[in-house]
Amino acid sequence: MSWEGWTVFAIFWVVFVTTPGPNAVNCITNGVTLGFRRAVPGIAAILTQAALFLTLSALGISALLLASPVAFQVAKIIGAGFLIYLGIRTWRQAGRALKETEQGGGSVYARAFLIATINPKSVAGYLAAFTQFVQPNVPIAQQMWVIVPTALTLTALSYTGYTALGAMLGRSALGAVASKPLRQGLALCFVVYGALLGATALPWRA
């Protein structure tokens, strides 16, 4: 992966993992109710889920590339469409209040893993993102050595930040990340990324 390609991917992933959603709300709530140290297993659960879905996405893309270049191009177009859908969905929800997650008696780790897994941005989002940045003429394993550490590092920084925000600011942290202009701005990023990246996959660009 070139320096330019890595930069585009890193910027995209920052938007992907910082857009307020179920994971962010759960991290803030854990920070509020448990304090930072006891909330750390929740961050670890999100990273476990991320590593699992990154691996599944890499395997899925490998299978597509082995199947046919056409299948990979179709997946890129579908993936770009999904990113645009995420943007529209985020924009429509920008005016809604973020609700605290219910703190049951179960494991902090297990609850966070479940929330991360059923998140609409989960496996479909990972696959959609990966199809936009993987170069079909470069071995997948070689690219994963760059993409996976980058994605996991940025994911860890994002949700550690949300947890710390909850621990420091209490419930007012939810209001800080629920800003409508902020959420709409991130939504536009999804739409623009999806449109631009999808355009590069269309047949007339070949």
**Cα distance between residue 61 and residue 74, in whole Å:** 12
Helix axis angle, 69-93 to 36-67, nearest 10°: 150
pLDDT of residue 126: 73
Q: Which amino acid is at 111?
A: R
Each domain of the chain, given as residue ranges in start order, spans: 3-205
pLDDT of residue 21: 76
Helix residue ranges, H only, 68-177 = 69-93, 108-118, 123-133, 140-169, 172-177
pLDDT tens-digit readout, 113-149: 988 887 666 666 676 667 777 777 777 778 888 888 9
**Cα distance between residue 18 and residue 155, in whole Å:** 8
Confidence (pTM): 0.71
pLDDT lower than 70: segments of the chain = 1, 61-62, 64-67, 69, 72, 75-76, 79, 86, 90, 94-106, 119-125, 127-129, 170-180, 182-183, 186, 190, 193, 197-206
pLDDT of residue 42: 93
Question: CA dihedral defined by 20, 124, 130, 141, rounded to 10 degrees?
Answer: 120
Name which of 36, 185, 67, 205 is nearest 136 in CA terms.
67
**Is 133 within 8 Å of 41 (Cβ atoms)?**
no
pLDDT of residue 122: 64
